[in-house]
């Protein structure tokens, strides 16, 4: 079957080969545009950032009601920084927003988990878990969003290799 296909290719004129390759390239371009459109739908958002900020805001209210002003201020500051980073992400400043949220989350995860184990309290452990999740999300946020460029370079290379193989 492969030999028959090669014989058919040998019988093609140069113009027919060029037209066939142009059609294949056009199909590849259409597929790429379709894939890019579907990848845009998969982009990450700042919603988890706002959620983490809201959780720390709720913790600030809880600590304030329990008359623990130092923890309330710490939680409120953390909440404000995380919500601000979500705002930065929404404005298109993804790099700075994710660095800010990831950094705050890293600090929070260490301090709240250590406090939870030291004082044998559940709330700091839960907040530490939220902080670890937020840190992970923001750590991979910019990596995930820059994968499009890497994927495009790989796809372009693969297309070029296919075209070269077909021309032989």
Number of domains in the chain: 1
* Domain span holding position 93: 47-139
Q: Is residue 101 assigned to a domain?
A: yes
Written as one string, the DSSP assignment of 77-91 is HHHHHHHHHHHHHHT
Q: State the chain's mean pLDDT as an integer.
A: 77
Q: Do 86 and 49 meet the contact criterion of CB atoms below 8 Å apart?
A: yes
Inter-axis angle of helices 47-65 and 94-119, to 10 degrees?
40
Q: Considering the domain boundaries, does residue 82 fall inside one?
A: yes
Q: Look at residue 144 and tell me whether its pLDDT is greater than 70.
A: no
Tell me whether residue 52 is exposed, middle or buried, using C-beta atoms within 10 angstroms of its C-beta: 0 to 12, 13 to 18, 19 or more.
Answer: buried
| Percent of the chain whose pLDDT exceeds 90 | 1
In a domain, 33, yes or no: no
Reported pTM: 0.57
């Amino acid at each position: 079957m492969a030999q028959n296909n090669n014989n058919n290719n040998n019988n093609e004129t140069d113009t027919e080969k060029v037209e066939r390759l142009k059609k294949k390239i056009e199909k590849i371009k259409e597929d790429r545009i379709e894939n890019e459109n579907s990848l845009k739908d998969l982009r990450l958002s700042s919603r988890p950032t706002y959620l983490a900020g809201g959780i720390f805001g709720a913790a600030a209210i809880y600590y304030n009601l329990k008359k623990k002003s130092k923890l309330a201020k710490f939680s409120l500051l953390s909440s404000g920084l995380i919500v601000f980073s979500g705002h930065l992400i929404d404005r298109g400043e993804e790099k700075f927003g994710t660095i800010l949220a990831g950094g705050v989350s890293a600090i929070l995860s260490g301090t709240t988990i250590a406090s939870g184990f030291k004082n044998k309290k559940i709330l700091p452990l839960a907040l530490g878990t939220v902080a670890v999740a937020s840190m992970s999300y923001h750590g991979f946020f910019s990596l995930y969003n820059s994968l499009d460029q890497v994927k495009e370079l790989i796809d372009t290379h693969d297309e070029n290799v296919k075209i070269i193989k077909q021309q032989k």
